[in-house]
Structure 1
Amino acid sequence: MKYLTFAAATLAATAAMAETPELTVYTYDSFVSDWGPGPAIEKAFEETCACDLKLVGLGDGAALLARLKLEGVRSDADVVMGLDTSLIAAAKETGLFAETAVSADYALPIEWTDPVFAAYDWGYFAFVHNKDLVAPTNFKSLGESDLKIVIQDPRSSTPGLGLLMWVKAAYGDEAPAIWDALADNVVTVTKGWSEAYGLFLEGEADMVLSYTTSPAYHLIAEEDDSKAAVEFEEGHYMQIEVVGKLAGTDQPELADKFLNFMVSDAAQSILPTTNWMYPAVTPAAGLPAGFETLTTPAKALLIPAADVPAIRDEALAEWLKALSQ
């Protein structure tokens, strides 16, 4: 009798597990870290979906697209979260993404009507430093200085690619000269944002490529106001992070539900103090105290997504040439 009871319970548990749908979401490492938004997002979504949300961290943002291209239609992912405006065109060219219907009252600096990707947060790239440093206020003066900076590889990291677009948007044909001057300032190039920021915090560099919102983490989470983002006279390049559904998913309705969840108040209220970015939709409670102290660039730069692929190839060649000398 005990055996039969145990066997029945085991069969019931197995059946319940089989009936629980699983949604696999590829994203970047910092999103799924203990201090990132992943754990809270997973808990909040699973409370609404009667499903198992599986968040898979795969390097930094640009590495996601490379992984997806490698796996193709055989990918285990249902959703990809962490691409940005610099990668949207290349992502669509793969033919791996499907259109989706997402309804959101966006509070972005630009109008967002993309039928494939939903925007879930945004920010401005910036160089972060300790406040006791007299930081240069443009790329030319940074290149003329002896300050040490840490940046990310544009082939694997969205901030790294964003920096290429930033310099190109600000200087156009002068970009190669800017990179020639900056090459001596770069102490290392990391695969992703986490490694670069960690080196900066360890004192390996004077400045690190990050976001204007990064000092909010130190201020709110650590009660440390020693960090600042310098405002550059050329303006700052904008990043809008997006989430999209794969055409090959076997959970299309659940994937749509997740995309809509990511623009809901439940998710948007989590992001500012976990992903340390601006939410794409203003939370009902507003932004957390401390965000009002952040640097607000006077000028925003953004290359249209459709124009990025051609500009990227040229900018990457200029970057590689300067840093290899």
Structure 2
Amino acid sequence: MKHLTFAAGVLCATGAFAQTPELTVYTYDSFVSDWGPGPQIEKAFEATCGCDLKFVTAGDGAALMARIRLEGERTGADVVLGLDTNLTAAARATNLFAPSGVEADYALPIEWSDDTFVPYDWGYFAFVHNTKLEHVPQDFLELARSDLKIIIQDPRSSTPGLGLLLWVKAAYGDQAEQVWKDLADNIVTVTKGWSEAYGLFLEGEADMVLSYTTSPAYHVIAESDTTKEAAAFDEGHYMQIEVAARLASSKQPELAQQFLQFITTDAFQSVIPTTNWMYPAVMPEGGLPEGFNDLVEPRNSLLIPEAEAEAVRDTALAEWLSALSQ
């Protein structure tokens, strides 16, 4: 009798465990690192959803798009987090994503009315350097004329890499390919993603690395280190708005929608500045940390509209490949 009672208890416990819904979110590597926002967000969301939030990494942001395209409706993802406005037109064209059902009071530099993609942070691309650098270039042309060594990311796998292509294209138009030809001998290496590139920079492998104007805030807040700065370029800086969206094929559509709404709450947004080191899409109740006060503010804000970004991306990528292959 005791054996039967124990067995029944095991069956009940197993059944309860099996009934816990699981939400799978595809994202980029740094988001779920020990120092990234993933661990805190997972804990906070699971406390409200009665579910198991599972992050699955797929390299960097642009690699997410490639994986979703490859998997199509057979994807195991319920939500994708880590695309940006340079990729949303391509993502929308797949017809794999469903309306978000989310409304929020966004604190973005531009008006946001997209009914599919939910922004969770934003920032400006910039080249980060050590303060000991004697002469900091003030634009891409000056950088190309210098003997400074830089590390950038591959635009085919990385959203910062893609953002750099569009930054140069937005600033120089038809002259972009020549700019890349002039920059070619400054490039030490092209990495698949941001984490690898920034790590190499910190190891002293280059003078500058493609990152964000907000990156120095990490060193100030987390390390009390004031030796990193972002170079202010006269052409202006290209904006990145990172977004999340739910898959139409999700087996947990209500939970996926709940997660997208959770993105706009203080529990999510307050984590972003000091873990993803970007500006939050919705201003947290406590505002921004003190280390964000003295960051570079671009003279001009550059952003190619979503409707144009895909066509411009194809042209810019061809120019980049041609310039770097010579």
TM class, shorter-length: over 0.9
The residue that corresponds to 2:249 in the other structure is 248
With 1-10 and 66-75 compared, the bigger mean Cα shift is at 1-10
The residue that corresponds to 1:171 in the other structure is 172
Task: Describe the SS at the equivalent of 1:31.
Answer: helix
Q: What amino acid maps onto 1:182 in structure 2?
A: L
Task: Please tell me the root mean square deviation across aligned C-alpha atoms, in Å.
Answer: 0.8
The residue that corresponds to 2:278 in the other structure is 277
The residue that corresponds to 2:301 in the other structure is 300
The residue that corresponds to 2:82 in the other structure is 82
TM-score normalised by length of structure 1 = 0.99
The residue that corresponds to 2:69 in the other structure is 69
The residue that corresponds to 1:43 in the other structure is 43
Deviation at residue 3 of structure 1 after TM alignment: 2.9
Q: Moved runs in structure 1, 4+ residues, more than 3 A?
A: none
Task: Describe the SS at the equivalent of 1:122.
Answer: strand
2:16 paired with 1:16: yes
The residue that corresponds to 2:223 in the other structure is 222
Q: What amino acid maps onto 2:33 in structure 1?
A: S
Deviation at residue 2 of structure 1 after TM alignment: 4.4
Task: Describe the SS at the equivalent of 1:137.
Answer: coil
Structure 1: stretches of 5+ with no match in the other structure: none
Task: Describe the SS at the equivalent of 1:271.
Answer: coil
> How many residues of Structure 1 are paired with residues of Structure 2 in the alignment?
325
Task: Describe the SS at the equivalent of 1:63.
Answer: helix
Task: Describe the SS at the equivalent of 1:273.
Answer: coil
Residue deviations 1:13-47, cap 9 Å, x none?
Answer: 21111211110000000001111000000000000
Task: Describe the SS at the equivalent of 2:119.
Answer: strand
Deviation at residue 218 of structure 1 after TM alignment: 0.5
The residue that corresponds to 1:112 in the other structure is 112
TM-score normalised by length of structure 2 = 0.99
2:212 paired with 1:211: yes
2:193 paired with 1:156: no
* Cα separation, 2, equivalents of 1:2 and 1:287: 59
Deviation at residue 289 of structure 1 after TM alignment: 1.1
* Cα separation, 1, equivalents of 2:315 and 2:10: 59
Task: Describe the SS at the equivalent of 2:40.
Answer: helix
Q: What amino acid maps onto 1:190 in structure 2?
A: T
Structure 2: stretches of 5+ with no match in the other structure: none
Task: Describe the SS at the equivalent of 2:293.
Answer: helix
* Cα separation, 1, equivalents of 2:163 and 2:5: 59
Deviation at residue 247 of structure 1 after TM alignment: 0.4
2:194 paired with 1:231: no
Task: Describe the SS at the equivalent of 2:100.
Answer: coil
Task: Describe the SS at the equivalent of 1:14.
Answer: helix
* Cα separation, 2, equivalents of 1:287 and 1:323: 39
